[in-house]
Amino acid sequence: MSKTRLEIFMNENKPTSTKAIAEQCRRVGIPCPPFKSHPGGEEAYQEWEATYGPRHPWIAALASWRSINKLYQTFLTMKERLRPDGTMPFALKYFGAHCFTGDHEVLTRLGWVKLDKWNGGEIMQWAGGKLNFAEAVPNKFLVQSGERLLQLKTGQINCVVTQGHWMATFDCKTGEQRKEQAGHIKTQRRKIPVSAPYIGGTEELPAWKIQLIAAVQADGHYLTDCRSIRFRLTRARKIERLRGILAQSGLDYKEAIYPSEPTVTVITLRQFPEWLGNRKLWGSELLTWSLKCLCLLRDELVHWDGTKCGPNSICYVTTKKQNADWISTIVHLTGYAASVTKREGQQENWSTAYSVFIRPADKISVSKKNWSDFGPALEVFCPTAKYGACLFRHNDTIFITYQTGRWSGDARINMQNMRKKPVLSDERGIMITDEKTVDAALEEHKATGDFPETVRHVIDFRKLIIPRPGKKMILSDLAQIEPRCLAWLAGDTAKLDLVKSGMSLYEAHARINMGYAGEKLPKDDPTYALAKAQVLALGYQAGWEKFIVMAYDYTGQDFTEGDPEWIEVRNPVTGEVERVSGYGSTAKKIVETYRKENPKIIGIWNQLDLAFKQSIGSKFEIGLPGGRKLRYDAVKCGVRIVVDSKTKQPRRKTVFTADVAGRRVETYGGKLTENLVQAVAREIFAYGLLKLADARIDVLFTSHDEAICEVDNSVSVRDIEGLMSVTPEYMPGLPVAAEAKEVKHYEK
């Protein structure tokens, strides 16, 4: 490896830092790469890499360094999380639902409700920097034995979360918004959002009415006739303010000072209107007020039960816990932050007081010192929310954080993205980064059992994951689960009947759709490869070009090898015969035949596509067998300018998009079908994992549709297959089969 290639790794800066890369670019006289995070940055960076990479090997080394460093950090995290018995907790065990203990609360239209008591419905959610109510679904999950939760505690935030809980964060230096896991940010300095403007209230009130309501709540007393409100005031500022408010209101009132109490001014509001009744306690009606009204109320507090305790902060004091809760809540709905402190009465006849400290802040800084180990918990709760981020409360602190309803890794560990290729290095221990050299070395090892002499060290990270002594590892995945689900959804009973008889779905497809009529179809037969390519690549409306790529990825077979250089086709408009390139002619015929032979699958595409397009201006939902729903919000129709593949000229293309998890996504019938099939397959896999859990089988982690199990020596491969080869009762007629094998180490 040349000195130039190593220079960037020898300076004091982090090799992949912006500063280090910029210095190296100036040193060799090339422009700095564009930022990937900027619009179009990913493509621009790839172009920069392709332009300068061949002349500067250190550019290719950067990507390799990032990859290996990420993997190294992952293994460091895994090492940190090892239990004394050598096992490691994964949030994947409860399906990515990283969440809270049950005493955390969500805000409903009627007030705060604890997660372990909440049965679903609208809760306050955060999207686009705003707060509003939206639908959400409750979830409860058991925590694996030994997994310890984290506690984040500051003056403004107090929450208990799992290691893999996703949190909304902001970088303290750049202000960049991020989504990070608690297990990662516990060692970082971050800002956590705690408030935002609430846009769901529509009721508008005049300023004097809000001010009078605040005055009545603080110092008004309802007389026994229930028709008058009396104020007994001693402070001049309160007297003057109430006079001004009543003057604006036009309401009838009487003012008096009695000789027995010369320092007390008594103001009596007679025949008060109905809307002013029962205003001693704040309640959920505040959630109907507009943001402007809530801000007016917040600012009015300082004139009554509040005092200034800083240049921009006030302290609101009340003896009613309900009032403290609601004032704290509306403060967080106006972009401010609040914290509640309870003060016991110092004398026997004194009431307990609650102080609400209010200041203008929508984010709170947290650092390593604010995190601590909370210990284990039996169960955790997590709402599946429309917008992902929600407003939560715990121990009188209110904050914004994410929920996670997806299947994912935990605390920088995602076994689904584990590096597949081993790391090769030369005699100096320097990593070989050239992909062609690595591939050639791996091919030689596959053919001869030995690596080239230039390769001295090999690290296969997957082989590092092994069972404990006295245990064994069994890998089990679901056989052809997506194609089976697609056939079941399409009502293709002919294929399903063959699958139930023990035949693979690929062979069933070859017999029904490709005319195969021989003995059992061997896996190394070209017909089997073609059937597999069709089933895996064409079920989701892939065109011929995409089929070529996907078929090669799935089967390693190139379906363009036999294509003629030129073919003659008749122009449908002019009727003339034209000579065009023959590339893809085989793939085109395969795609055309597949669609002709599978009308039921085409019917699913068309049905979903039509229903989606008819949902323009609203949301589109697809119900799943298990009761869940796939939801696509704010369906829109638009026009994009694309390059025509034939004429190479720009043309207008009509596209249909929806809001999915805060991103605008283009979709169509085939894509919707893929989402539906994968969601159904996920339910089946989850059902199998629950069966494993019932049998006390320890699932170390999952990768796509594969469960990696550590079991006692008495447990067999057939035992695992039997537990996972179970069809949920709400999916009758769908054949489910698992294929398991015993291994010495993790492999894929």
pLDDT for 375 equals: 81
pLDDT for 146 equals: 56
Secondary structure, 3-state, 82-127: CCCCCCCCCHHHHCCCCCECCCCEEEECCEEEECCCCCCEEEEEEE
CA separation for the pair 185, 170 (Å, rounded): 11
712, two tokens: 């006692």
pLDDT for 462 equals: 84
| CATH tag, 207-359 | 3.10.28.10
Read off the amino acid at residue 432: I
Q: Which positions of the chain have pLDDT values less than 50?
A: 1-10, 91-97, 410-411
CA separation for the pair 502, 735 (Å, rounded): 10
pLDDT for 448 equals: 92
CA distances (Å), origin 599, targets 148, 492, 592, 602, 673? 52, 10, 12, 5, 14
CA separation for the pair 44, 153 (Å, rounded): 42
Domain extents for the chain? 1-81, 96-196+362-402, 207-359, 505-624+633-654
Specify the CATH number for 96-196+362-402; select among 3.10.310.30, 3.40.225.10, 3.30.2290.10, 2.170.16.10: 2.170.16.10
Read off the amino acid at residue 77: T
* Cβ atoms < 10 Å from Cβ of 656: 19
362, two tokens: 């929508």
CA separation for the pair 660, 231 (Å, rounded): 54
pLDDT in tens, 29-50: 898 888 776 655 667 787 888 8
| Alpha helices by DSSP H, 491-597 | 493-500, 505-513, 526-538, 544-555, 585-597
pLDDT in tens, 554-611: 788 888 888 888 888 887 778 888 887 888 889 999 999 999 999 999 999 999 999 9
**Strand partners for 341:** 355
Closest to 442 in 3D by CA, of 458, 461, 465? 458
What does the buried/exposed string (b/e) look like for 75-110 if buried means 16 or more CB atoms within 10 Å of the residue's CB?
eebbeebeeeeebbbbbbbbbbbbbbbbebbbbbee
**DSSP strand pairing (228-233 vs 265-270):** antiparallel
> Which residues are within 8 A (CB) of 138 and not within 5 positions of it... i.e. 6 or more apart?
115, 118, 119, 120, 381, 383
Is residue 165 a contact partner of residue 110, using CB atoms and an 8 Å limit? no
Closest to 216 in 3D by CA, of 269, 292, 290? 269
**Owner of token pair 């990662």:** 184
CA separation for the pair 65, 433 (Å, rounded): 9
The DSSP letter of residue 197 is B
Cα radius of gyration rounded to whole Å, the chain: 33
Give 160's Cβ-side CA count (13 Å radius): 18
**155, containing H or E segment:** none
Is residue 366 a contact partner of residue 157, using CB atoms and an 8 Å limit? yes
pLDDT for 64 equals: 73
**687, containing H or E segment:** helix 669-694
> Which residues are within 8 A (CB) of 548 and not within 5 positions of it... i.e. 6 or more apart?
558, 559, 560, 584, 587
**694: exposed, middle or buried (Cβ count in 10 Å: 0-12, 13-18, 19+):** exposed
150 SS3 class = strand
CA separation for the pair 209, 727 (Å, rounded): 62
CA separation for the pair 409, 704 (Å, rounded): 11
* Cβ atoms < 10 Å from Cβ of 553: 11
CA separation for the pair 513, 510 (Å, rounded): 6
pLDDT in tens, 456-502: 889 888 888 889 889 999 999 999 999 999 999 999 999 999 999 99
The answer for 603, left when phi > 0, alpha when psi is -120 to 50, beta otherwise, is alpha
Give the length of the chain.
748
Closest to 334 in 3D by CA, of 362, 306, 302, 356? 362
pLDDT for 595 equals: 94
193, two tokens: 């959002």
CA separation for the pair 221, 445 (Å, rounded): 89
CA distances (Å), origin 470, targets 144, 146, 355? 21, 20, 59
**480, containing H or E segment:** none
